[in-house]
Structure 1
Amino acid sequence: MQEQECTLDLNTIEAAVAGEKWALEKVLAYYADYIEELATVEVEQPDGSVKKVVDEDLKQQIGMKLLEEIPKFPLEEAKKQAAEE
């Protein structure tokens, strides 16, 4: 897993909802560690021990699902909350 400092500000979220490639990449980078955690599975080894590995297919599926859901993000609600802060 990679360590990187990344934040998602409202402008980035707006751009991601609009389909901007740079913003979508930033969202994926922001959630990369979480996606990897979700895609980590336990595999039983021949000796009976259990090894944790990242299922790369599952990782891709989770990332694709995230990208599919971004356009549905309630942007107006987020803008309203940001204005209240």
Structure 2
Amino acid sequence: MKEQECTLNLHTIEAAVAGETWALGKVLEYYADYMEELATVEIGQPDGSVKKIVDEDLKQQIGLKLLEEIPKFPLEEAKKQAVEE
């Protein structure tokens, strides 16, 4: 994703916590670059150089863990903070 094209607003977060598919997709899209960064590993090459690759299995695991944690998001705290801003 080039620059942050996707934003997460309170409505999207509420929908994601409620399990709405479109909102879960937005959350995954929002964190796609970060998940890719976390899943990037360095592989030593025979010539001594190091090659960076994205471990797609690890990236998938990170995405699944994110989806598991979304229902635990402290929504009431986020709503209070949004009202204060």
Q: Which amino acid aligns with 1:44?
A: G
How do 1:25-44 residues align onto structure 2 when only pairs under 5 Å count? 25-44=25-44
1:29-61 deviation digits (Å, cap 9, x = unpaired): 000000000000000011111000000000000
Which consecutive segments of 4 or more residues in structure 1 shift more than 4 A?
A: none
Output the aligned Cα RMSD. Answer: 0.8
Q: Which amino acid aligns with 1:43?
A: I
Is 1:6 aligned to residue 6 of structure 2? yes
Q: Which amino acid aligns with 2:5?
A: E
Structure 2 equivalent of residue 18 of structure 1 = 18
Question: Whole-Å Cα distance in 2 between the matches of residues 43 and 25 of structure 1?
Answer: 30
Question: Whole-Å Cα distance in 1 between the matches of residues 6 and 32 of structure 2?
Answer: 11
Paired positions, count: 84
What is the percent sequence identity of the aligned residues?
Answer: 85
- For structure 1, the residue ranges without an aligned partner over 5 or more in a row are none
* Aligned-pair CA distance for 1:64: 0.3
Question: Whole-Å Cα distance in 2 between the matches of residues 34 and 72 of structure 1?
Answer: 20
